[in-house]
Amino acid sequence: MSESTEQVQTADRLWQEFRQEPFPDSLRHATFGGTDVWLLELDIAGCVLRWLDNSGTLGSKNRILLQSRIEDLDRVIPEINDPVGTQYCQRLHQLAVLVSRNLFSTK
């Protein structure tokens, strides 16, 4: 099994674990600095799913979006007052960073 295949499988497992967690009620309408947390999750989820579906590749627009959303999470996480919400966003951040660091090729 190649290293890239293993990384995709690891990310897939982490994604499945993440998806088992319900979106925290405290974040449903949370906005920090004009950024809606639910929209961060939606954008990152789309990028992760595209990356998984394409065996570790992500187009340039999605790479840019993913990086932007990672930066947004970097700003948002310290502002979250709910420990459950913080933990949820930290897991989302971890997954997004894992995917962004493991882009094997681009389209």
Q: What is the pLDDT along the chain (107 residues), one digit of tens a residue?
A: 666 677 788 888 889 988 999 999 999 999 998 999 999 999 999 999 999 998 888 999 999 999 999 999 999 999 999 999 999 999 999 999 999 988 754 44
Residue 104: predicted pLDDT = 57
Locate all alpha helices (DSSP H) within the chain, ordered by sequence.
3-19, 37-53, 60-76, 83-101
Count of domains in the chain?
1
Dist. CA 104–CA 107, nearest whole Å:
10
Residue 9: predicted pLDDT = 83
Residue 79: predicted pLDDT = 94
For residue 99, what are the domain limits?
A: 3-106
